[in-house]
Amino acid sequence: MKTVKDFDIEDKRVVMRCDFNVPLGNKGILDDFRVRKTLPTIQYLSEHKAKVILISHLGRPEGREMKFSLKPVAERLEELLGRQIEFLNDCIGDEIDRKIADMKPGEIVLLENLRFYKEEKEADPSFIKKLAELGDIFIQDAFGVSHRAHASVTGVPEHLPSGIGFLVEEELKILSKVIDNPERPLAAIIGGAKINTKVKLIERFLRDVDNLLLGGKTANIVLDAKGISVGRSAPAPDIAQLVENLDFTSPKLHLPVDVIAVNDSARQAFCGDIKEEELVLDIGPETIDDFSKIISQAKTIIWNGPLGKFEDEEYSQGTRKIIEAILASPAFSVVGGGETAELVNRLGLADKFGYVSTGGGAMLKFLSGEKLPGIEAIEN
């Protein structure tokens, strides 16, 4: 598979797919982690005299919703790169074509949110063609959306010579190593919700890792399937069906032995004494101790998803204690998932882990052994 270094990019229009899907607040970008991870590829392209055309999506707008504009990202890029980034208020059209035609080597522009057009998610052929006509070369550096068969991800590479950027190259190298050739023991920690995206990953981990630790809503669903009461945290029938074929007898599988739960009076309770009206919000102290011991013996750790309602300080202890255990371990640790990466960045701990992935769903699919359409498009 070609990388950005395999192309003669001087004076060429290079369309670079980025993942600038960053959290926004009233004062702008809350976490610029994904923006910073694209800088090496952007700098390489500009320094080698390419005409750099950055494209991305942000959020899930319904049409042209300006609260999802990429303009704040352009402003942050200017701060990080210390140079001018021209922001264009659309991603296709005659005005965009004229602006790009006037670009000089080394200049950088950022186009407006691709998802302002429904044709992006629909992978509409005419929209793909218009995007492809913007450039001479396509560079995929948006690992976080490489599991999506969208116009800018799988469509444009069909029309242009294509390769991957430094970020995608790094993601593939590190994630391949930790799942295919890790130092053992290998421990995987899976939390959060969205069990539908994690069933295949759990199945693979039960085969390939040495210890699989489950927390959060994911653990609640498995506990419920084992016949252990989780009160109001019990999943709906269609969700419960997703895990019915998992091997619950595997000695590799480790589930919470106690939890923090609340009722309307905010009373704490422990697993085994969970009543129908109680809601599980965190793992308990015994589980923290058990999980921490396993983590301390690991040589490689993969973590995706919080182990409780971490956004609430009162129920963040489980996740925080597991973070402490991972950082105290000598193991090489890989962290991934939108919520998880956002949490470690907010705590200022990202550089303490071995690697923090920019991918959520893409990381899960890759580690599950599934093909990523955005990567296949480049390979083909």
Residue numbers annotated as active site? 34, 194, 338, 361
Residue 175 CA to residue 179 CA, distance in Å, equals 6
Amino acid, res. 170 = E
The sheet carrying 86-87 orders its strands as 86-87, 108-110, 51-55, 13-17, 137-140, 162-164
92, two tokens? 């296709």
Whole-angstrom Cα distance, residue 78 to residue 70?
A: 13
CA distance 257 to 273: 11
Rounded to whole angstroms, what are the CA distances from 178 to 124, 243, 282?
A: 36, 25, 28
- What are the E-state strand segments in 153-288? 162-164, 186-190, 211-214, 253-254, 259-262, 279-283
Q: Is the peptide bond before 157 cis (omega within 30 degrees of 0)?
A: no
Rounded to whole angstroms, the Cα distance separating 312 from 176 reads 34
How many residues are present in the chain? 380
Beta bridge partners of residue 87, listed in sequence order: 110
Please tell me the distance from the alpha carbon of residue 316 to that of residue 309, in angstroms, as a whole number: 6
Tokens, residue 280: 């599980």
> Which amino acid is present at 316?
S
Q: Where is 361: in which H helix or E strand?
A: helix 361-368
Write the DSSP symbol of residue 160.
Answer: S
Rg (CA), the chain: 22
Q: How far is CA 256 from the centre of its chain?
A: 25
* C-beta of residue 127 within 8 angstroms of C-beta of residue 119: yes
User: 196-223: b or e for each residue (b if 16 or more CB lie within 10 Å)?
Assistant: ebbbebbbbbbebbbbbbbbbbbbbbbb
